[in-house]
């Protein structure tokens, strides 16, 4: 075993020189040299010179060959190109495809759109006992519906006088909760969370945190609860059911902020479903942005799987997103993570560096697909007043090393322009963003008199 490990170490240490000799074979076809990119080389990853043999052996065993393919496009706001490399080569943008989803959502719904979750009942209501003699029904397609919203529904029903439902909980198809793709599991979670006696501790904590964030002291003094006595099953909203209350999600801009900060695949796919799926996103790119069909591929709204875009195409998407945000009176930081400041994928990446707050970007990571994929798309600010837009797409190699290279490029671009400068940004907690929901309820006698103005969902 010792001999095998020693041979492995020699192979790793002698590999570069052997490769050089192989390239020098007379008559072999020579590959044209690639112009230097100008990026300062990263520190070597591995044990230092003179390290003990055991450390060299361990390092050799841990290394895997990295075949680095990368595309880069950096532009000023004016459109002037600062740097470009393989800008028309296709790469897998991974979760950076969520920028396409965000753009489509803003153009389709508008930044202030709120997703509706409607609560219905069947049967009669006894005001004296607070009991509905029938079923409770929930319907909606809010991708952000979470524990704290379910407790808010219980509170709203209590204000209407409802404490108990003698029948079942009917969950309309496509209703989901807590980022679960299963309507059945979502319904069961909703069932438990409505009832204070069955409510999971995590749901109680989410409700408490949301009320504290909103400084809602009155809600903290109450313990909302609605007990449903029957079972949970999936079915369309029954004919004749009466709509009692509609819960509206936070505005789309806040939903996108949470989605993009945490790169939430479930939320992106749910949102994509309402935009026509991959076909709908493809239509946006061809019809609105003028990309040629067949020269890109959108397979998912989240970036999972095999998607294809070039750096030039992704820059066009990012500029279109900035324009759309401007049309709604918003900036990039209103929906994208600010590095080192916002929680999520960029929280730690710049937290302890001088660049904290100077980068706004969407990451993309697929450790196995296409041999390893990493992306960084967004903008940076420099001390001399420049704002640069950038697209960095890497695949077929170590995600860790790709991130190192991306950060080195960002640091170099800022260093050449006086250093990093933070964007003007006042962060808000994600709890506040997710809790800024609303109700439109039929009060008091509405339990007997209210008739839905829209068809059953």
Listed in order, the ranges of the chain carrying CATH 3.40.710.10 are 69-112+254-426
Query: What's the pLDDT score for residue 88?
Result: 96
**If you search the block for the tokens 């209407």, which residue do you land on?**
160
> Using the 8-state DSSP alphabet, how is residue 296 labeled?
-
**What does the block give as tokens for 268?**
């992106």
What CA–CA distance (Å, rounded) separates 297 from 197?
49
Beta-sheet strand order (sheet of 373-381) = 81-85, 69-76, 387-395, 373-381, 359-366
What CA–CA distance (Å, rounded) separates 112 from 119?
22
| Opening angle at CA 157, ends 153 and 163, nearest 5 | 120
Distances (CA, A) of 115 to 104, 247, 260, 364: 16, 8, 17, 26
Query: What's the pLDDT score for residue 441?
Result: 64
pTM: 0.81
Query: What's the pLDDT score for residue 437?
Result: 76
| Beta strands, E only, 275-416 | 359-366, 373-381, 387-395
CATH 3.30.70.260 matches 69-112+254-426: no
Query: What's the pLDDT score for residue 61?
Result: 38
Contact 293, 286 (CB under 8 A): yes
Q: What are phi and psi of 261, to 5 degrees?
A: -65, -45
- The torsion defined by the Cα of 266, 305, 363 and 328, in degrees rounded to 10, comes to -60
172-188 burial string, b = 16+ CB within 10 Å, else e?
A: beebbbbbeeebeebbb
Q: How many CB atoms lie within 10 A of CB 440?
A: 12
Listed in order, the ranges of the chain carrying CATH 3.50.80.20 are 116-249+434-449
Query: What's the pLDDT score for residue 428?
Result: 81
| Residue in 284, 250, 286, 261 with CA at minimum distance from that of residue 336 | 261
Q: What are phi and psi of 380, to 5 degrees?
A: -135, 155
What CA–CA distance (Å, rounded) separates 397 from 65?
8
Along the chain (457 residues), what's the average pLDDT of each consecutive run of 10 residues? 44 40 38 38 41 41 51 98 97 98 98 96 94 97 95 95 97 95 96 97 93 85 95 96 93 96 96 97 97 96 97 98 98 97 92 92 97 97 97 96 95 96 89 73 46 37
Beta-sheet strand order (sheet of 131-133) = 124-126, 131-133, 164-165, 227-228
Query: What's the pLDDT score for residue 353?
Result: 84
Q: What are phi and psi of 170, to 5 degrees?
A: -100, 125
Distances (CA, A) of 19 to 25, 30, 31, 64, 147: 11, 14, 14, 16, 58
Q: Which CATH number is 116-249+434-449 given?
A: 3.50.80.20
Distances (CA, A) of 224 to 163, 221, 295, 447: 9, 10, 54, 19
Kindly give the pairing relationship between strand 69-76 and strand 359-366. unpaired
Kindly give the pairing relationship between strand 136-140 and strand 124-126. unpaired
Kindly give the pairing relationship between strand 232-234 and strand 242-248. unpaired
Query: What's the pLDDT score for residue 53?
Result: 40
What CA–CA distance (Å, rounded) separates 108 from 100?
12
């Amino acid at each position: 075993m010792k001999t095998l490990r020693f041979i492995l170490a020699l192979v790793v240490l002698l590999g570069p020189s052997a490769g050089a000799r192989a390239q020098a074979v007379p008559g072999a076809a020579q590959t044209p040299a690639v112009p230097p990119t100008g990026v300062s080389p990263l520190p070597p990853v591995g044990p230092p010179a003179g390290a003990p043999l055991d450390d060299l052996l361990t390092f050799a065993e841990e290394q895997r060959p990295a075949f680095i393919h990368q595309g880069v496009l950096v532009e000023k706001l004016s459109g002037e190109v600062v740097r470009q490399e393989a800008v028309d080569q296709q790469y897998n943008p991974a979760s950076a495809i969520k920028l396409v989803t965000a753009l489509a959502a803003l153009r389709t719904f508008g930044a202030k759109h709120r997703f509706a979750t409607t609560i219905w009942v069947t049967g009669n209501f006894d005001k004296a006992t607070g009991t509905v003699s029938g079923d409770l029904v929930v319907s909606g397609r809010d991708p952000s519906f979470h524990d704290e919203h379910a407790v808010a529904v219980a509170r709203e029903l209590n204000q209407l006088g409802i404490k108990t439902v003698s029948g079942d909980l009917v969950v309309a198809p496509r209703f989901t909760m807590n980022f679960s793709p299963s309507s059945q599991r979502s319904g069961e979670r909703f069932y438990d969370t409505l009832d204070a006696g069955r409510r999971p501790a995590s749901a109680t904590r989410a409700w408490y945190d949301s009320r504290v964030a909103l400084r809602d002291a009155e809600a903290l003094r109450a313990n909302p609860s609605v007990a449903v006595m029957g079972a949970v099953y999936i079915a369309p909203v029954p004919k004749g059911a009466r709509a009692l209350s509609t819960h509206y999600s936070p505005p789309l801009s806040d939903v996108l902020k949470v989605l993009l900060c945490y790169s939430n695949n479930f939320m992106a796919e749910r949102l994509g479903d309402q935009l026509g799926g991959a076909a709908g996103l493809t239509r946006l790119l061809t019809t609105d942005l003028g990309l040629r069909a067949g020269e890109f591929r959108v397979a998912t709204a989240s970036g999972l799987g095999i998607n294809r875009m070039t750096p030039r195409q992704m820059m066009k998407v990012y500029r279109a997103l900035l324009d759309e945000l401007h049309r709604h009176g918003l900036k990039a930081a209103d929906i994208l993570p600010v590095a080192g400041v916002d929680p999520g994928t960029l929280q730690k990446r710049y937290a302890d560096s001088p660049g904290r707050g100077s980068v706004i970007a969407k990451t993309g990571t697929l450790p196995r697909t296409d041999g390893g994929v990493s992306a960084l798309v967004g903008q940076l600010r420099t001390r001399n007043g420049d704002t640069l837009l950038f697209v960095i797409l890497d695949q077929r190699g170590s995600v860790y090393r790709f991130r190192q290279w991306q950060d080195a490029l960002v640091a170099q671009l800022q260093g050449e322009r006086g250093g990093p400068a933070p964007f003007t940004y006042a962060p808000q907690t994600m709890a506040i963003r997710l809790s800024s929901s609303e109700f439109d309820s039929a009060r008091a006698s509405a339990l007997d008199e209210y008739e839905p103005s829209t068809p059953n969902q």
